[in-house]
């Protein structure tokens, strides 16, 4: 066996191993969509996800999950003007615990509509019925060129930023007041945009690791069962406001995005992701489809090359 052949064999073997990475080890009630994960000061893990009233799940070990109820068990009528219905599903929450307080941003909209709003809820326990409505953070209408869904809070040196966006002109960044969680200015910075596949990019998350901010997005289409084509992409920047480039140096505002995780084996359309720094390193949290629904996936990420690799 020549060295070249051995190397090629090892490369194929490594690529094959990478391709068969499963959705981590998760058990219990994991039927989620657009999950976000928080870890509280006692070490309990919380997953919030899309649904009427926003779903809450807990785990003590990040493996076994139990559904504990809803953020809004009595409905959220303030979102009706954006969902276009009474007590419609609320989308893609984003959890951050700050000084023991849960900060949960979430969106209200309907499929294919720019009539969308992002709201903030807070709680000291995370439990159903404990949440206060902190009101509307920002909204869009068909007169905007972007769509106010899929919020994600990123804190950089005490400054708060919110990434958001879906289709249209892509992923944006806005400035928040840390004291209130509300907008501190109306400025909107472009972070990522595609023209391919109707500009299908959403579910942004910014994660700081080492000297880089990593902007993760979901490309292509969610929400079509086993026909879903979501895949997780990334770019990086030394500044939270960009410019972000992919591993080939292509600007994310020019359609760049390095693949992190796509459909493989029985795991269809992974996306709607969040990131968490845990004791065993950075964790990627996402949903994927099977023939019976959408489920929670959890994998560790290895950033040792400077780019995240699912392990
Ligand atoms: C997937 O696509 C096939 C072919 O178009 C269609 O028959 C099927 O209903 C779709 N399944 C879902 C869950 O959308
Ligand atoms: C990426 O795009 C931004 C905004 O258009 C621009 O300022 C920056 O120079 C571009 N960077 C690269 C590497 O092309």
One digit per residue, the tens of pLDDT, for the chain of length 311 reads 333 333 343 333 344 344 446 678 899 999 999 999 999 999 999 999 999 999 999 999 999 999 999 999 999 999 999 999 999 999 999 999 999 999 999 999 999 999 999 999 999 999 999 999 999 999 999 999 999 999 999 999 999 999 999 999 999 999 999 999 999 999 999 999 999 999 999 999 999 999 999 999 999 999 999 999 999 999 999 999 999 999 999 999 999 999 999 999 999 999 999 999 999 999 999 999 999 999 999 999 999 999 999 99
- Residue with CA closest to ligand 1 atom 4: 227
| Angle in degrees, CA 104, 198, 35, rounded to 5 | 25
Sheet holding 212-219, edge to edge: 201-209, 212-219, 231-237, 258-261
Nearest to 270 by CA among 17, 42, 76, 22: 22
Sheet containing 159-164: order of strands: 152-156, 159-164, 171-176, 189-192
**Could you read off the pLDDT of 227-282 as tens digits, one per residue?**
999 999 999 999 999 999 999 999 999 999 999 999 999 999 999 999 999 999 99
Please give the distance, rounded to the nearest whole angstrom, from the Cα atom of residue 112 to the centre of ligand 2.
29
Residue 191 CA to ligand 2 center (angstroms) comes to 10
Nearest alpha-carbon partner for 272 in 154, 169, 150, 161: 150
Catalytic site residue from 55, 202, 220, 274:
202
What pLDDT does 19 receive?
Answer: 45
Catalytic residue among 34, 150, 220, 246: 34
Whether 34 is a known active-site residue: answer: yes
Ligand 2 binding pocket includes 209 (Cβ within 6 Å): no
Mutate which of 173, 251, 257 for ligand 2? The one with the most ligand atoms within 8 Å of its CB, which is 251
Query: What is the C-alpha to C-alpha distance for residues 153 and 26, in angstroms, rounded to an integer?
Result: 26
So what's the pLDDT on residue 11? 39
Q: How do the domains of the chain map onto residue ranges?
A: 3-310
pLDDT at 15: 40
For residue 255, the ligand closest to its alpha carbon is: 2
- What is the rounded CA–CA span in Å between residue 3 and residue 26? 40
Which of ligand 1's atoms lies nearest the C-alpha of 225?
Answer: 13
Provide, rounded to the nearest whole percent, the portion of the chain with pLDDT above 90. Answer: 92
Is the distance from CB of 82 to CB of 42 less than 8 angstroms? Answer: no
Q: How does pLDDT run across 90-122, given as a tens digit for each residue?
A: 999 999 999 999 999 999 999 999 999 999 999
Please tell me the distance between residue 254's alpha carbon and the centre of ligand 2 in angstroms: 8
CATH 3.90.1150.10 matches 3-310: no
- Please choose, from the candidates 108, 109, 118, 253, the residue with its C-alpha nearest in 3D space to the C-alpha of residue 176: 118
d(CA 296, CA 243): 31
């Amino acid at each position: 066996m020549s060295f070249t052949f051995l190397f090629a064999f090892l490369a194929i073997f490594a690529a094959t191993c990478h391709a068969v990475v499963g959705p981590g080890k998760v058990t219990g009630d994991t039927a989620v969509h657009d999950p976000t994960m928080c870890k509280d000061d006692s070490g309990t893990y919380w997953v919030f996800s899309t649904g009427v009233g926003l779903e809450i799940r807990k785990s003590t070990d990040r493996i076994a999950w139990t559904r504990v109820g809803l953020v809004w068990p009595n409905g959220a009528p303030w979102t009706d003007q954006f969902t276009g219905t009474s007590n419609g599903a609320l989308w893609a929450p984003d959890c951050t615990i700050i000084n023991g307080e849960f900060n949960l941003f979430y969106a209200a909209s309907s499929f294919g509509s720019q009539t969308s709003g992002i709201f903030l809820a807070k709680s000291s326990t995370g439990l159903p019925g404990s949440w206060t409505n902190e009101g509307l953070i920002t909204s869009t209408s068909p007169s905007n060129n972007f769509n106010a869904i899929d919020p994600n809070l990123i804190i950089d040196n005490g400054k708060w930023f919110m990434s958001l966006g879906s289709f249209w002109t892509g992923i944006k960044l806005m400035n928040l007041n840390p004291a209130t969680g509300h907008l501190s200015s109306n400025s909107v910075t472009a972070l990522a945009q595609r023209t391919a596949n109707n500009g299908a990019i959403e579910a942004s998350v910014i994660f700081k690791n080492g000297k880089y901010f990593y902007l993760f997005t979901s490309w292509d289409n969610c929400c079509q069962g086993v026909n879903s084509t979501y895949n997780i992409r990334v770019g990086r920047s030394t500044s939270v406001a960009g410019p972000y480039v992919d591993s080939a140096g292509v600007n994310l505002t020019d359609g760049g995005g390095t693949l992190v995780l796509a459909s493989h084996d029985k795991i269809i359309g992974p996306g709607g992701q969040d990131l968490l720094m845990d004791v065993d390193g950075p964790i990627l949290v996402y949903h994927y489809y099977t023939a019976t629904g959408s489920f929670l996936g959890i994998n560790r990420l290895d950033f040792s090359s400077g780019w995240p690799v699912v392990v």
